[in-house]
């Protein structure tokens, strides 16, 4: 064989290989995440799993957490305005702290002092000083200064503003603890907790939401508009159908927050039964105070609830830490750069699909086209199921964010469908239509022949 022939054959082989794996060139596109398409389908995949698992989220920590919410209804009832005066805030803090919570986190940011002669910040600092035996956590503002204000020296600073964590909840940022992390460390100081191998840089929390309300919530507020408790398969089916047909169906969501919630105005109740109830809900509990005011909304997006006040994110992240300890849900390990195990598994599934699609187990090129389509569809369906199972394994066993099963399933089905359509078109263009025409021509020719014979 001449050198020319050898080079020619090598080139031919290379071209055949490129033809076989041409769609593998999509891999870098998947990894580069152009226009955030991969991230969007990643988030969608995680949200579906989060929603389904919310029905089965363990409720053990739910009874240890109480949220006190100042909203427009509370302001109306208290005949107050926002921001609340220091006097009103001091009264509210005092009422809460009088019930002796285990700790208090206030989700109110004190950026500028707006003291007046009659309304001094001193009222707040005096209150914090008076209850200094109860750990009180206050957010440390990033502007105008990062120094702790001297008025709040009896509180502990935590961060509530962060960046660079995508949709995850960081435990430590800029050498400060998040409210969930700070409260978790406090909890671990008096309770047995799993060992923290890497305390300096703990992994972010992929917050897992719960959707089943605490039974005691109905003794405090009207919950007639909330989703009733359910763990049934039909609720999951309902969720999935609503998510698939979200354009036409009303999306399934739990409109009520997961944690036990007291409206701030309710704390004014002073009859003995109310005090007894508040003692039950606040004493020795981790209390989160937050606000949700029209015109100054602090809201975050929960995949299970929709837009909820930001304080619930801190409460849920803390709940995750109490429930799972250091095995909380997290982004998977990064291998290099921003590429993590999830990306690797996504790519492996993609390579599997592309190779098996044309693997020898598949019928030959000459096989019936219908059998080949069936093979591709079956492969796509099997891989989709495998990805879903891998996602569940990641979520339930490893507590990692699930892989991009939704995006890949859609991609595989699209490729299969594309193949199905292109084969159908090929069949029509190159086989069926010429046949029809040739039949017509034959019939015309036959007619002409018959006519000529008759002539």
Binding region for other proteins (CB under 8 A): 69, 71, 73, 77, 80-85, 87, 90-91, 94-95, 98, 116, 120, 122-123, 126-127, 129-130, 217, 220-226, 251, 253-257, 261, 263, 265-266, 268-271, 273-274, 277, 292-297, 299, 301-302, 305-309
Q: Are 390 and 448 in contact (CB under 8 A)?
A: no
In the bound complex, what is the minimum distance in angstroms from residue 183's beta carbon to other proteins? Answer: 22
In the bound complex, what is the minimum distance in angstroms from residue 253's beta carbon to other proteins? Answer: 7
SS3 14: helix
In the bound complex, what is the minimum distance in angstroms from residue 256's beta carbon to other proteins? Answer: 5
DSSP track, 105-116: EE-----S----
DSSP track, 30-96: HHH-GGGHHHHHHHHHHHHHHHHHHTT---GGGGGEEEEEEEHHHHHHHT--SSPPHHHHHHHHHHH
Q: Are 339 and 202 in contact (CB under 8 A)?
A: no
Total residues found in the chain within this entry: 455
Q: Which is nearer to other proteins, 80 or 381 (CB)?
A: 80
Q: Which is nearer to other proteins, 73 or 348 (CB)?
A: 73
Say how many C-beta atoms besides its own lie within 10 A of residue 151's C-beta. 20
Q: Which is nearer to other proteins, 264 or 408 (CB)?
A: 264
Q: Which is nearer to other proteins, 256 or 356 (CB)?
A: 256
In the bound complex, what is the minimum distance in angstroms from residue 7's beta carbon to other proteins? Answer: 59
Backbone phi and psi for residue 230, each to the nearest 5 degrees, phi listed first = -155, 140
Token pair belonging to 431: 């086989």
In the bound complex, what is the minimum distance in angstroms from residue 341's beta carbon to other proteins? Answer: 29
In the bound complex, what is the minimum distance in angstroms from residue 312's beta carbon to other proteins? Answer: 9
Question: Rounded to 5 degrees, what angle do the CA atoms 52, 57, 63 make?
Answer: 145
In the bound complex, what is the minimum distance in angstroms from residue 313's beta carbon to other proteins? Answer: 12
Q: Which is nearer to other proteins, 125 or 376 (CB)?
A: 125
In the bound complex, what is the minimum distance in angstroms from residue 225's beta carbon to other proteins? Answer: 6
Q: Which is nearer to other proteins, 290 or 331 (CB)?
A: 290
In angstroms, what CA-CA distances link 151 with 12, 326, 342? 78, 34, 46
Return d(Cα 339, Cα 46) in angstroms, integer: 17
Spell 252-266 as b/e; 16+ CB within 10 A means b.
Answer: bbbebbbbbbbbbbb
Return d(Cα 379, Cα 381) in angstroms, integer: 5
Return d(Cα 44, Cα 411) in angstroms, integer: 14
Q: Which is nearer to other proteins, 1 or 296 (CB)?
A: 296
Q: Which is nearer to other proteins, 244 or 444 (CB)?
A: 244
Q: Are 310 and 299 in contact (CB under 8 A)?
A: yes
In the bound complex, what is the minimum distance in angstroms from residue 246's beta carbon to other proteins? Answer: 10
Whether the CA torsion 428, 432, 438, 441 is positive or negative: it is negative
In the bound complex, what is the minimum distance in angstroms from residue 281's beta carbon to other proteins? Answer: 12
Q: Does 83 sit behind a cis peptide bond, omega within 30 degrees of 0 on the bond before it?
A: yes
Residues 6+ apart with CB under 8 A from 420: 373, 376, 377
Q: Does 144 sit behind a cis peptide bond, omega within 30 degrees of 0 on the bond before it?
A: yes
Q: Which is nearer to other proteins, 146 or 307 (CB)?
A: 307
Q: Which is nearer to other proteins, 53 or 75 (CB)?
A: 75
Q: Which is nearer to other proteins, 149 or 154 (CB)?
A: 154
Say how many C-beta atoms besides its own lie within 10 A of residue 309's C-beta. 24
Q: Which is nearer to other proteins, 23 or 256 (CB)?
A: 256
Return d(Cα 405, Cα 383) in angstroms, integer: 9
In the bound complex, what is the minimum distance in angstroms from residue 132's beta carbon to other proteins? Answer: 9
In the bound complex, what is the minimum distance in angstroms from residue 301's beta carbon to other proteins? Answer: 6
């Amino acid at each position: 064989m001449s050198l020319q022939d050898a080079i020619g054959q090598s080139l031919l082989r290379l071209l055949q290989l490129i033809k076989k794996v041409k769609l593998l060139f999509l891999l870098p596109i998947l990894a580069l995440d152009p226009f955030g398409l991969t991230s969007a389908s990643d988030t969608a995949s995680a949200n579906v799993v989060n929603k389904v698992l919310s029905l089965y989220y363990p409720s053990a920590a739910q009874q240890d957490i109480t949220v006190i919410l100042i909203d427009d209804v509370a302001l109306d009832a208290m005949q107050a305005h926002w921001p609340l005066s220091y006097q009103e805030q001091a009264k509210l803090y005092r009422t809460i702290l009088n019930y002796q919570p285990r700790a208090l986190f206030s989700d109110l940011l004190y950026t500028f002092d707006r003291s007046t002669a009659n309304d001094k910040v001193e009222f707040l600092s005096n209150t914090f000083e008076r209850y200094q035996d109860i750990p009180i956590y206050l957010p440390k503002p990033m502007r105008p200064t990062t120094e702790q204000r001297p008025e709040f020296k009896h509180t502990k600073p935590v961060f509530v503003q962060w960046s660079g964590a995508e949709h995850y909840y960081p435990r430590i940022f800029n050498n400060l603890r998040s409210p969930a992390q700070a409260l978790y460390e406090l909890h671990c100081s008096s309770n047995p907790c799993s060992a923290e191998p890497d305390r300096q840089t703990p992994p972010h929390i992929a917050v897992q939401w719960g959707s089943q309300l605490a039974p005691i919530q109905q003794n405090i507020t009207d919950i007639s508009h909330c989703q009733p408790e359910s763990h049934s398969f039909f609720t999951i089916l309902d969720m999935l159908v609503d998510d698939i047909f979200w354009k036409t169906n009303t999306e399934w969501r739990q409109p009520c927050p997961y944690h036990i919630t007291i409206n701030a105005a309710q704390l004014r109740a002073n009859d003995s039964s109310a005090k007894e109830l508040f003692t039950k809900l606040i004493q020795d509990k981790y209390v989160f105070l937050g606000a949700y005011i029209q015109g100054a909304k602090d809201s975050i997006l929960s995949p299970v609830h929709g837009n909820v006040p930001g304080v619930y994110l801190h409460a849920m992240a803390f709940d995750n830490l109490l429930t799972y300890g250091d095995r909380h849900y997290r982004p998977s390990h990064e291998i290099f750069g921003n590429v993590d195990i999830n990306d690797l598994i996504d790519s492996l599934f993609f390579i599997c699909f592309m190779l098996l699609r044309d693997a020898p187990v598949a019928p030959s090129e000459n096989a019936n086209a219908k059998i080949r389509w069936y093979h591709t569809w079956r492969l796509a369906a099997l891989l989709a199921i495998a990805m879903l199972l891998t996602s569940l394994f990641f979520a339930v066993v490893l507590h990692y964010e699930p892989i991009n099963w939704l995006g890949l399933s859609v991609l595989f089905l699209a490729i299969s469908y594309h193949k199905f359509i292109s084969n159908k078109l090929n069949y029509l263009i190159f086989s069926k239509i010429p046949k029809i025409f040739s039949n017509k021509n034959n019939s015309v020719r036959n007619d002409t022949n018959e006519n000529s014979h008759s002539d």
